[in-house]
Structure 1
């Protein structure tokens, strides 16, 4: 009898977020689950790690599931590092991060704590997936995403993508019957047109609230943003090697002397 896969579950919305609780339930039907997640929301932290403060990890029991759970005071990337180096007795067969409350498509992948946790696992050679639902509400309904999340996870476990490849999966906020399917895409080009709301506190000191609007700069029909707009789940393979290979040989011809 084959051993169940060991599944590391993490996120950036915090260990009590409905998204991760949904993800844990799905993973319990696939393998043996260990959860290491932030003790508070860490959205937008990107690949930050804690280097100038103490990290704390506490074993907790959030619900009655069979999984082992740990609450961490650090970032999503910290959670994965601690899981691999200190909390697990063997390398997990897969790491799944999410389900994030909100989109991580297009340029959002750069800022995402959800995806950075998955990328950290990828750096360690662990197959990994970041899941996101396009609903920022804390009370988001994850029911329609369940069967798709399970199917994608099982495909990764069976097929094992190349080392260092991480899947960025975004799910439209639609009823299950309205989701048209799954599309493997490229990352769409886009950016945030940002604004800072400047205010002054009672002590006369200025402070700022960041806000902005996402702008899609890509007209391609093969992008994650296009897939999501048309009712499909987007799956984008990403990597942590940021080398611009197309430009590498050109820059080698420059005269730096």
Structure 2
């Protein structure tokens, strides 16, 4: 296929995760695939980067016909190394991250390694998409997602994205998806608890637990869409300026 697009595939569950295999298979139908992914699971790493210790980047042969690299760092490290070392500054046409084992809706977008990899792609001016499925197990069935994964990526390749914008795509865990909803991020977060336990040496340690707390019952949110068996697409930006607060702060008098 002449002039086929080049697609960078990354994730946070590790280079051997079933979700990235599903994403690779779909992207191979759209263009030339290059994979740079962590050598081990990196969930919850957010936008962390590796500082103060060396990074390893090794080419591996895991799936036939796919150029693949295993990285010792975070998902964001993977994108940075892909752009600077693998592509040598010639950026890919698309960056896709996932398919994550577990949702990244609501506030999860801030913690997610999957989404941070896509954000890093967008920072590099690469059209970028993060994909996640509401199934945390290694046995997750991605088959009902794949036609949507392909169509959304094809639309981005054809139309591009608004400047400094990427897509956060989440799939409900059902074979009966009703369609796609363009949404806003719900006001929802994890209400964390820390389960205190004792190790064999009688020293206390803590295990993060909690429940997902939805504080937003709007019918235009990603949480509503997923609960009603729709694919949610939230356009995300990395400019975190609270523009509406600037006039408020400009009204303050600083006595210095």
- Is residue 179 from structure 1 mapped to residue 177 from structure 2 by the alignment? yes
- Is residue 192 from structure 1 mapped to residue 202 from structure 2 by the alignment? no
Matches within 5 A, 1:137-148: 137-148=137-148
Deviations 1:150-196 (A, max 9, x none): 00000011111112101000001111xx1000000000001111111
CA distance in 1, matches of 2:165, 2:13: 23
Q: CA deviation at 1:2?
A: 5.1
In structure 1, the residue matched to 2:67 is 68
Q: Secondary structure at the match of 2:59?
A: strand
In structure 2, the residue matched to 1:50 is 50
CA distance in 1, matches of 2:189, 2:231: 21
The list of structure 1 runs, each at least 4 consecutive aligned residues, that deviate by more than 6 angstroms after superposition, is none
Taking only aligned residues, the RMSD between alpha carbons, in angstroms, comes to 1.0
In structure 1, the residue matched to 2:200 is 202
CA contact (8 A) 1:12 1:98 kept: yes
CA distance in 1, matches of 2:165, 2:55: 28
Q: CA deviation at 1:204?
A: 2.4
TM-score norm. by structure 2 comes to: 0.97
Deviations 1:79-116 (A, max 9, x none): 00000011114201110000000000111111100000
CA distance in 1, matches of 2:28, 2:132: 19
Q: Secondary structure at the match of 2:3?
A: coil
CA distance in 1, matches of 2:163, 2:53: 32
Match of 2:229 among 218, 231, 239: 231
Q: Secondary structure at the match of 2:14?
A: coil
CA contact (8 A) 1:126 1:163 kept: no
**Which ranges of structure 2 fall in alignment gaps of 5 or more residues?**
none
- Is residue 149 from structure 1 mapped to residue 149 from structure 2 by the alignment? yes
**Which ranges of structure 1 fall in alignment gaps of 5 or more residues?**
none
Matches within 5 A, 1:1-257: 3-64=3-64, 66-89=65-88, 90-175=90-175, 178-257=176-255
Deviations 1:51-98 (A, max 9, x none): 02111011001122x210000000000000000011114201110000
CA distance in 2, matches of 1:41, 1:121: 19
* Aligned residues between the structures: 254
